[in-house]
Structure 1
Amino acid sequence: MGNDLTLPNWLRTIGDQPHGAHRRALADEHGELTFAELVAAMDATAAALRESGAEPGDRIVTAMEPSIPHTVAILGALAAGMVAAPLNVRLTAPEARAYLSALEPAALLADPTYAQLARDTGYRVLELPAANQPGPVAERLAPLQHPGGDRTSPDEDAFAIVFGTGGTTGSPKGAVHTHRSLWLWLNTCAHGNPRVPSDVELFFSPFFHITLGTNLLTPLFAGGEAWIHRRFDPAAALAAIDQGASRLMGAPTMFAALRARPEYATTRRENVTAIRFGSAPSTGDFVRDLLRDFPNARIRAGFGATEFGSVMGFDHDDLLAGRFAGVGRPLPGATVRILDADGREAAPGVVGDLVVSCPWQTHGYYGLPEETAATFQADGVHIGDLASRSEDGWVTIAGRRKEMIISGGENVYPREVEEVVLRHPDVADAIVYGMPDERWGERVEASVVAVAGRTVEPAALREYCRAELAGYKIPKTVRVIAAVPLTANNKPDRRRARADALGQS
């Protein structure tokens, strides 16, 4: 098998030994697998892909719901030396065709839920008709199973998996990992979030998001267990916690949805030992609620991007010390620089361009050499984020350069404004954007979601902001909306929020 750093080889070291037959790796609503069964299914899928005519290096796109068969399909592609590419199934067919044009896939693997989307892309489709039904994994993956085929070991420097970017500043692009960079990323995640053998990860994210790596592949990498839900459902998530799920990851809105359920008060939340929330702006109240409601959980927050995975974070002890804002410090192995307009290190507290380099970063955008050259530069990865750093190295994200608002010649960073707006007790969620203005060029506006049972008074909110923001940063208009619009990759969609606001003007 060799010593190459690849996820398939790593999983085989667990599944091929006696303990692999006695350790559960995955469960979903229709079945479960031990590590021995997972590795056997992975290798049978790899053999079936080769038998189908696909060759090493070919891109194998998956258009499926989160499930055991979807996990095995991705691992099988990796084991066959092919390049797995989970498709953002929230894209329309024209959007999917545009994204896939750079990947030129050899085949799309589709379950019944997304078979039509797959067919509409115009590429070859292999359908797995029983993927979403109860039964043995071989039946759920049929016809993509060939037990007893020759086992292959991919080269660690070959391309392994492609994740689509969020498309917040343009069309999605496919950031590609080699087997080695994927292994190093999962290893970083495993060390940054230690676990014990009895831990169970509750996973309910779409597979096209990098949480596939941080919250599904990482537990498997660490020899742990993950329970897969097709989507986030608060009632199902609370039931899983009652049954022993001990590790959670989600956005603040997810935890608010859990808290709103009547069974929340009686759920055995003491089962939860680890919580990780993403880099979306959060408030002290949100963190204090987590600390109170999950008394046995170590709580962490992190920052990452599709192009380089997890690179910064802060830990439970930081939260206990009252440090809630920002994204924390660089992880060991990650180099984070903040550069001024002249390309020099920005002074503490000064906003500049965020540049990241780490051994586990992706190797560019598949099939897009010009975009790759613009982002993956000699000094690191430039994703267009703006940030500042304190004297002691604590990093705060100001926003994306393309989202920066220039009002009367002054730079306004939407995220800074959002963090203040979110601290208002009547505001549950918020998004800030720029609007055209004849006098100022652009003006700051905000759309907010009210806390259930409360009302947001725009004038009162603007007055609240005055204590913490300069006048030119205070939203000139505040709109109350039902929900913050999201991109297909579940990120706040400022372009759509701005378009909606323009439509109401």
Structure 2
Amino acid sequence: MADVLTLPNWLRTIGAGPHGAHGRALRDDSGELTFTELVGAMDAVALGLRRAGLHPGDRVVTAMEPSIPHTVVILGAMAAGLVAAPLNDRLTGPEARSYLATLRPSAVIADPAHTSLAHETGCRVIELPAAAERMPIADRTAPLAAHGEPLAPPAEDAPAVIFATGGTTGTPKGVFHTHRSLWLWLNTCAHGNPRTVTDIELFFSPFFHITLGTNLLAPLLAGGEVWIQRRFDAGSALAAIDRGASRLMGAPTMFAALRGHPDFATTRRENVTAIRFGSAPSTDDFVRGLLRDFPNARIRAGFGATEFGSVMGFDHEDLLAGRFTGVGRPLPGAVVRILDGDGREVPAGVVGDLVVACPWQAHGYYGMPEETEETFRADGVHIGDRASRTEDGWVFIAGRTKEVIISGGENVYPREVEEVILRHPLVADAVVYGLPDGHWGERVEAGIVAVQDKTVDLEELRSFCRADLAGYKIPKNLRLLDAIPLTPNSKPDRRRVRAEALAETAGHGAEG
């Protein structure tokens, strides 16, 4: 069964090869594992889960910090034919119960930091009391580690893993991959952003997000090392970079935090050979800053979604040529179309519905057939994004259909406005949203983070925007913010900024 295309099977191949015993696969604050050790721990947990009464196809939720044991439990669940489902640990107990209602998990695996949340789900809980301790991996994964012959691999078309959507419009949905679609997706990641066995990927994202695939599982598939940190901390990240971490991925706000840290200037940044950023629009100054601050890094930007992973991007050469905006071109194998309401391709420059089809796309929302049918259609995946493209195929995201602002009867897409505002030399960050307006129905408003020690005037900003935006798209109001809040997926939290603006508007009305 060595030819079965599953990630656990491939890791066994690496573990049994010459790189297995010496190549480090994982490192965290409490230990490290070679590939051979990782495979042994994975198979031991797989046996332990089955002996705990779990059966192929059962969903296993993990409520754990980013760590080696968390990685081993996810891989062990997949090796046992179970479906791994990392839980968003920022959810409250009621929110977690609502999300898990459709997954109907057989168990929640919890480390000490998340035991309370795990028990609030109402599911069976298996605690790993020593997960964070500096101990052998068998002790860190106890009581799940068991001894015996490895289990037969599951079928390629069996469900393997479930990722939660961002949940910015309600309860998150569980997007599931089969072993085959996961395999195809990880290979796309590994080849689209080339990796080698000498790479050290610095990872500090939550495991419920698809970065688990792009920045942890894909490097492992390529035989490289992943250095896991429990959360993003600029000082800890810079220390890891100084000690050899060579690959980084994050939102623009993360790189800004690195640059703003006192240790940034003395950190040996020439170690960094690859950077990938995404999640939010970026400024020209941000990209030029990356090129300056990490002179040996090949820099790429990517666009994707939980429903289909990475599907578009632009490369280092595009940045050197000064092409900084938009989301780039489709990756090989991804079919990206922009359609009107009748399902016809729109001309270049016209905004339409973004539809994506690729061999590695997910298979739907677990336990939600109606929602799956609405999004995963015969012509591709419809996630509700609006986009346009240039004559040469370069794609720009205008915004989400549900985020559209209807001002004076015209549609305004926030991201389209943000891309223009971010070109202003005094703007460090921006978020655009709509507020109720007695005359226009909705008015366009912008929250702005100004460059340090600078400020931005509304009329100056409006004048700046006129060259690139129709009048109805130009913000009618401006709020100066200290920072743009982010969602758990590191995207601008537009709903929160809008709610705060509404509350502020209501307060002014009450005062009047």
Instruction: Give the TM-score normalised by structure 1.
Output: 0.98
How far apart are the structure 2 equivalents of 1:63 and 1:452?
39
* Aligned residue identity for 2:462: R
Aligned to 1:451: 451
Aligned to 1:185: 185
- Say whether 1:272 aligns with 2:258: no
SS of 1:40 mapped into structure 2: helix
Spell out the pairing of 1:458-469 with structure 2 (5 A cutoff): 458-469=458-469
Deviation at 1:499, TM superposition (A): 1.3
Deviations 1:219-251 (A, max 9, x none): 000011110000111111111111110000011
* Aligned residue identity for 2:245: A
SS of 2:265 mapped into structure 1: helix
How far apart are the structure 2 equivalents of 1:481 and 1:118?
36
Spell out the pairing of 1:264-303 with structure 2 (5 A cutoff): 264-303=264-303
Spell out the pairing of 1:285-324 with structure 2 (5 A cutoff): 285-324=285-324
* Aligned residue identity for 2:177: H
Aligned to 1:135: 135
Aligned to 1:375: 375
Alignment check: 8 A CA contact 1:429 1:449 kept: yes
Deviation at 1:428, TM superposition (A): 2.0
Aligned residues: CA RMSD: 1.1
Aligned to 1:105: 105
Alignment check: 8 A CA contact 1:167 1:487 kept: no
- Say whether 1:27 aligns with 2:10: no
Deviations 1:310-337 (A, max 9, x none): 0011100001001111111111111101
Alignment check: 8 A CA contact 2:279 2:490 kept: no
For these two proteins, the number of residue pairs brought into alignment is: 505
* Aligned residue identity for 2:295: P
Spell out the pairing of 1:126-165 with structure 2 (5 A cutoff): 126-165=126-165
Aligned to 2:427: 427
How far apart are the structure 2 equivalents of 1:147 and 1:487?
41
How far apart are the structure 2 equivalents of 1:321 and 1:466?
26
Aligned to 1:14: 14
* Aligned residue identity for 2:287: V
* Aligned residue identity for 1:167: G
Aligned to 1:222: 222
Aligned to 2:171: 171
Deviation at 1:453, TM superposition (A): 2.7
How far apart are the structure 2 equivalents of 1:19 and 1:483?
45
Deviation at 1:100, TM superposition (A): 0.3
Deviation at 1:194, TM superposition (A): 1.0
- Say whether 1:74 aligns with 2:54: no
Deviation at 1:451, TM superposition (A): 2.7
Deviations 1:146-189 (A, max 9, x none): 02244221111000000000112332100000000000000000
How far apart are the structure 2 equivalents of 1:94 and 1:430?
32
Alignment check: 8 A CA contact 2:351 2:387 kept: yes
How far apart are the structure 2 equivalents of 1:121 and 1:456?
46
Deviation at 1:279, TM superposition (A): 4.1
How far apart are the structure 2 equivalents of 1:488 and 1:210?
12
Alignment check: 8 A CA contact 2:251 2:490 kept: no
How far apart are the structure 1 equivalents of 2:209 and 2:434?
27
Spell out the pairing of 1:327-366 with structure 2 (5 A cutoff): 327-366=327-366
Aligned to 2:198: 198
How far apart are the structure 2 equivalents of 1:23 and 1:488?
32
How far apart are the structure 2 equivalents of 1:386 and 1:19?
45
Deviation at 1:462, TM superposition (A): 2.7
How far apart are the structure 2 equivalents of 1:317 and 1:205?
27
Deviation at 1:446, TM superposition (A): 1.0
* Aligned residue identity for 1:29: D
Aligned to 1:45: 45
SS of 2:9 mapped into structure 1: helix
Deviation at 1:447, TM superposition (A): 1.2
* Aligned residue identity for 1:188: T
Deviations 1:324-382 (A, max 9, x none): 11111111111101001221001011000000010100000000011000000010000
**Structure 2, gaps ≥5 residues long:** 506-512
Deviations 1:172-225 (A, max 9, x none): 100000000000000000000112221110011110110000000000000111
Aligned to 2:504: 504
How far apart are the structure 2 equivalents of 1:371 and 1:142?
38
Deviation at 1:276, TM superposition (A): 0.3
Deviations 1:285-325 (A, max 9, x none): 11111111111110000110000000011100001001111
How far apart are the structure 2 equivalents of 1:406 and 1:273?
44
How far apart are the structure 2 equivalents of 1:19 and 1:354?
42
Aligned to 2:231: 231
Q: Structure 1 stretches (4+) deviating beyond 4 angstroms? A: none
How far apart are the structure 1 equivalents of 2:406 and 2:126?
49
Deviations 1:383-412 (A, max 9, x none): 000001111111111010110111111111
Alignment check: 8 A CA contact 1:279 1:301 kept: no
Instruction: Give the TM-score normalised by structure 2.
Output: 0.97
Deviation at 1:454, TM superposition (A): 2.5
Alignment check: 8 A CA contact 1:168 1:491 kept: no
**Structure 1, gaps ≥5 residues long:** none
How far apart are the structure 2 equivalents of 1:429 and 1:111?
36
Alignment check: 8 A CA contact 1:47 1:145 kept: yes
How far apart are the structure 2 equivalents of 1:195 and 1:52?
37
How far apart are the structure 2 equivalents of 1:457 and 1:132?
49
SS of 1:388 mapped into structure 2: strand
SS of 1:443 mapped into structure 2: strand
How far apart are the structure 2 equivalents of 1:150 and 1:306?
31
Alignment check: 8 A CA contact 1:156 1:178 kept: yes
How far apart are the structure 2 equivalents of 1:360 and 1:399?
24
Deviations 1:227-282 (A, max 9, x none): 00001111111111111100000111111111111221111111110000014101
Aligned to 1:115: 115
- Say whether 1:5 aligns with 2:10: no
How far apart are the structure 1 equivalents of 2:97 and 2:21?
41
Aligned to 1:55: 55
